[in-house]
Amino acid sequence: MNTRMLIDGTLVKGAGLLDVINPATGKSFAQAERADETQLEDAVAAAKAAQPAWAGLGYEQRGALLAKLADALDAIKDDLTRLLTSEQGKPLPQAMGEVMGGIYQLRHFAARRIEPQVLREDEATRIVEHRTPLGVVAAVTPWNFPFLMITQKIGPALITGNTVVAKPAPTTPLCALAIAGAAADILPAGVLNVIVDDNDLGGKLTGHPDIAKVTFTGSTDTGRKVSAAGADTLKRITLELGGNDAAIVLDDVSPAEVAPKLFGGATVNAGQVCLAVKRVYAPSAIYDELCEELARLANEAVVDDGDKQGTQIGPIQNRMQFEKLLGYLESAQADGTVIAGGKPLDREGYFIAPTIVRDIADDAPLVREEQFGPILPVLRYDDIDDAIARANDSEYGLGGTVWAGDVERGAQVAMKVDSGTVWVNKHLDIGFDIPFGGSKQSGIGREGGDEGLHAFTQPHIVNIALA
């Protein structure tokens, strides 16, 4: 297990050490090297110096090196899976899914190319659009998907000729450092740099004058700070921020059939997913039955250490988020009727019993805010247009789902939901070739697809007189 940072092609010790906590025990199981401001400057300088030569390699050579990195990570996927569960908490099958998803991402981007586009050509003129790299990219990633979020950012950044300084969340640095350990033997010096902080270097990195682009995934509050930090130098910024995703259930579905899908969408990764189902709107005709089914699933769910076979829901990743969820549980008791869960588990670690809350008002904190945990409010509606309006009455607009017997009717409802992505009769189907991002205060820009790839490049127009 590599615990050293990667700066200018060398795995280095830091100015200090950072304890890494296993959320299933609440105790430290490793220490990661932690950077100071001088090492941040070294990382940015190394990336800046390496960028012209990296861009000069061209797509084929860059792609071959990215594919080689993917192969190196694939060779240690079992170790990465256990490491991910140890630092993040999710059950091993989910951890393996994340690791393999990240490896597939790298292979996907390794094969991508942006060819010059002829915009106009006639007897007098040829106009060609080239897409050139921006320069040095700062990739700042969250703690809920500490492997997948790194690959999601370094893949498109590197294939398009940029160099990267990556900074993982302080509570989950080890997956990023594992990627750094593999990259040190594969990528040219300075192309990928990975530093770790204790929440003290983010502003210095995102506001650095030599950073051309920031790609950030995290909370909306932090996203505002990232945007402000980059304003002075007009950095290109991609922000994938918070969500309060609504699931709208139509009256022609079976509660017994839809409940497991809603429950799984709300509790995957212990609910710590920006696109998790965070509130359910159900018609009065099936409201009681749906609530009963959800409560049954919550009571039957196996909540335990993600390292144990059979665990369905692991711990909350860190103490700060755990204590925030305790506040939501307390307010839910006052604002609604708790029909399953409603309390932390009486054991070491940061475990919350999966909780279902019914008969709760639209203005309750659990409904208005992003809880980011396995606590699900279920709201009643009598008119579908009213349900859509209530679902849209949010500062967030990242994702959402519609569950319908009549698929075409479901698609019509989905078109009225103000979110970047809305699924009909499925959830969390995100292909690497599909652009993803939020509306309103859930983000700026897109990741994935052509749009996400182009976000790491600058349009460069060459306008030639032929006559």
* Residue 274 annotated among the catalytic residues of the structure: yes
- Taking Cα atoms as reference points, which of 129, 105, 125, 126 lies closest to residue 115? 129
The Cα–Cα gap between 214 and 455 comes to 10
DSSP letter assigned to residue 436: B
- Could you give the C-alpha distances from 68 to 17, 75, 111, 306, in angstroms and in order? 30, 11, 12, 30
E strand or H helix at 51, and its extent?
helix 37-56
SS3 call for 124: coil
Give the active site residue among 274, 293, 370, 447: 274
Which of 177, 380, 143, 422 lies closest to 281 in space, CA to CA? 380
Task: Confirm whether 348 is a catalytic residue.
Answer: no
Catalytic annotation, pick one of 87, 240, 293, 370: 240
Structure tokens at 360: 């709760």
Per the structure block, which two tokens stand in for 32?
């990661």
Angle between helical axes of 58-75 and 174-183 (0-180°, round to 10): 120
Indicate the pairing of strand 337-340 with strand 355-358.
antiparallel
Strand runs labelled E in 134-212: 136-140, 163-167, 192-194
Cα–Cα distance measured from residue 219 to residue 64, given in angstroms and rounded to the nearest whole number: 34
Are 179 and 73 in contact by the 8 Å Cβ rule? The answer is yes
Burial class (CB in 10 A: 0-12, 13-18, 19+), 326: middle
What does the alpha-carbon distance between residue 149 and residue 330 come to, in Å, rounded to a whole number? 32
The Cα 100–Cα 173 span in angstroms is: 18
Per-residue DSSP letter, 359: S
Question: What amino acid positions are annotated as catalytic residues?
Answer: 240, 274
